[in-house]
Amino acid sequence: MANSVKHGRKFGAAYFALAAVVGAAIGTFILLVERPAPPPPPLWSIWKPTASSAMERANEIATFVGAQYQLKSGHQLVHVEVGNPTAGNDPIRAFAIAKKPNVTSQSDFDFVDPTSTLMFSLCGAGKKCSIKEGKPSVARGAVLRREALELALYTFRYVDGVDAIIAFLPPKPDSPPYAVFFKRDDLDSQLDHPLVRTLPQRKAPLPGRLTPAERKTVDDLTLTRYFRFGVQHSNGARVVVLQPAAV
């Protein structure tokens, strides 16, 4: 009988110890259930494209971003057209980006595959896509580079399969054509946080109205990717050649 009582006491102690562990686990479970879920991450942008296909999304972005930029008259600064470099009867076979101002051989170029590259043409209402109103200026050029940057950010964020973007800028009188060329890796940091942190001016600024802080951001992200360009034929294929340009 004594052994039974002794055994019962051991069993009881073990049982209550087990109950305490189970009780603690239940308490923890209740706390976890009652604890509010972490807040969702902030939206990358207020607006985003909704089309299903990549090219349709790119066209939505071109239309949306293009409409935000205006001249002092209220007219749209440029119309933005989307292009696929590998489409058509005379496709582009490569983008050749010069690594330095003075090139002497092919080793001085980086070659980018056009199959994952998207083209934007920023076309004004004047001759040969020039901007009809006003005169070219450094301030207007900065806003155009901002627009190219915004197009690239939206595209890399919302369009799958695009690893590079070239934005052809409207030509200036008696000047070679210019473009801004971005690779996705160039903007990794900006794609990881909301757009408003990169471009705080929610309304696209008029030429000359970029804040100093935002102008610095635009310059930092675009000037090293600002090129003079031309098209050459190599072995029967078109190659877009880009060389560093000064603003």
User: Taking the chain (247 residues) in consecutive chunks of 10 residues, what is each chunk's mean pLDDT?
Assistant: 52 49 54 65 92 96 98 96 91 93 88 96 94 94 98 98 97 89 97 96 94 97 96 85 87
The 3-state secondary structure of the chain, one letter per residue: CHHHHHHHHHHHHHHHHHHHHHHHHHHHHHHHHHCCCCCCCCCCCCCCCCCCCHHHHHHHHHHHHHHHCECCCCCECCEEEEECCCCCCCCEEEEEEECCCCCCCHHHEEEECHHHEEEEEEECCCHHHCCCCCCCCHHHHHHHHHHHHHHHHHHHHHCCCCCEEEEECCCCCCCCCEEEEEEHHHHHHHHCCCHHHHCCCCCCCCCCCCCHHHHHHHHHHHHHHEEEEEEEEECCEEEEEEEECCC
What residues contact 67, with CB distance under 8 A and at least 6 apart?
76
Q: 122, 144 in Cβ contact below 8 A?
A: yes
Nearest to 44 by CA among 175, 124, 150: 150
pLDDT, position 207: 93
pLDDT, position 10: 54
Q: 84, 55 in Cβ contact below 8 A?
A: yes
- For the full predicted model, state whether its pTM sits above 0.75: yes
pLDDT, position 90: 85
pLDDT, position 18: 45
Q: 241, 173 in Cβ contact below 8 A?
A: no
pLDDT, position 104: 84
pLDDT, position 88: 83
pLDDT, position 15: 47
What residues contact 8, with CB distance under 8 A and at least 6 apart?
none
pLDDT, position 220: 97
pLDDT, position 21: 47
